[in-house]
Amino acid sequence: DAMVIQNPRYQVTQFGKPVTLSCSQTLNHNVMYWYQQKSSQAPKLLFHYYDKDFNNEADTPDNFQSRRPNTSFCFLDIRSPGLGDAAMYLCATSRDSVTVNQPQHFGDGTRLSIL
C-alpha cells in the first residue's frame, strides 16, 4: 500500500544534542509537510516543500531545519533541542497543491523526548 512512513516512531535525545527525524512516501506526491503536535493541541505547521521549493512558516524557530533530497524523502533537523521541543512530529503529503481541496496523508509520527 502507498503510504507515508516515519522513522523512528520514538526518539530520545539530550538537551542541545542535534537530532534528525525522517519521512518517506510512496505516494509520489509533490508536497511534503512537517507538523509539530503537542498533547491535546492542534498540529502546527512548521514548513512544507512544494517539490524542491521550501516554505517556512513565519513563526517556526530557526532551530528547526528541513531537507528534501528527492521526491520520496524529507528530513527534519532540530539543531539544539530544548525541553519545549518535546512533541509528536508529523509528516504529511498532498498530491500537487498546498492549498485548496486536496486531503493530506499523514504518517504515524515520531514522538520526540528530550532528556
Q: Which residues bind another protein (CB under 8 A)?
A: 4, 33, 40-43, 45, 48, 90, 92, 98-101, 103-109, 111
Q: How far is the CB of 19 from another protein (least distance, A)?
A: 19
Exposed (0-12), middle (13-18) or buried (19+): which is 62, by Cβ within 10 Å? exposed
Q: Which is nearer to another protein, 57 or 77 (CB)?
A: 57
Q: Which is nearer to another protein, 14 or 97 (CB)?
A: 97
Q: How far is the CB of 16 from another protein (least distance, A)?
A: 27
Q: Which is nearer to another protein, 6 or 78 (CB)?
A: 6
Ramachandran angles phi, psi of 55, nearest 5°: -130, 115
Q: How far is the CB of 74 from another protein (least distance, A)?
A: 14
Q: Which is nearer to another protein, 43 or 81 (CB)?
A: 43
Task: Show the CA angle centred on residue 7, arms to residues 5 and 9, nearest 5°.
Answer: 100
Exposed (0-12), middle (13-18) or buried (19+): which is 91, by Cβ within 10 Å? buried
Q: How far is the CB of 80 from another protein (least distance, A)?
A: 26
